[in-house]
Amino acid sequence: METTLIILKPDAVQRGLMGQIIDRLERKGLRFVGLKLMQVPRDLAERHYAEHKGKPFYDGLIKFITTSPVLVMAIRGVDAVAVCRNLIGATNGRKAAAGTIRGDFGMSAAFNMVHGSDSAASAQRELALWFKPEELHDFTPAREGWVYDPSDLK
């Protein structure tokens, strides 16, 4: 099992897409172990996007993520990072494959609705920024026995 960070950005929240995006993740069989709607403080945005500091788009990115509430989610599943990134789709919604979140709902590279951790290491770092340990809940939904073949969990 792997846990990853997914953020529904201001454009997804403002467009009323939270429920549809959550539905796709949940129907895939992923487990939500932490969720919170929050206004992102500037210092948290800067820590989250520290690797982009100095790049031409950095200031706009910080301004964007802090303009409106976001929905922050900790999601667990087998290969959760890769599974979520496949569901999210390519960064530019115009180029993302149909059937992906960005491919079905997006028309922009900048307003791309969703952040997903890009590796297990990034997920660990990002989850620690956004969630306190007591905000993450370790449980196994009853349906999970119908999501994975037992050999998937070895």
The residue written with tokens 């929905």 in the block is 71
Residue 83's pLDDT is 98
Residue 106's pLDDT is 96
Name the class of domain 2-135.
Answer: alpha beta
Q: Is the dihedral of CA 148, 99, 127, 4 positive or negative?
A: positive
pTM: 0.95
Residue 154's pLDDT is 76
Residue 151's pLDDT is 87
Residue 21's pLDDT is 98
Residue 59's pLDDT is 96
- C-alpha span between 9 and 111 (Å, rounded): 8
- C-alpha span between 13 and 28 (Å, rounded): 21
Indicate which residues carry an active-site annotation: 115
pLDDT (tens, 9 = 90+) of the chain, 154 residues, equals 999 999 999 999 999 999 999 999 999 999 999 999 999 999 999 999 999 999 999 999 999 999 999 999 999 999 999 999 999 999 999 999 999 999 999 999 999 999 999 999 999 999 999 999 999 999 989 998 899 998 888 7
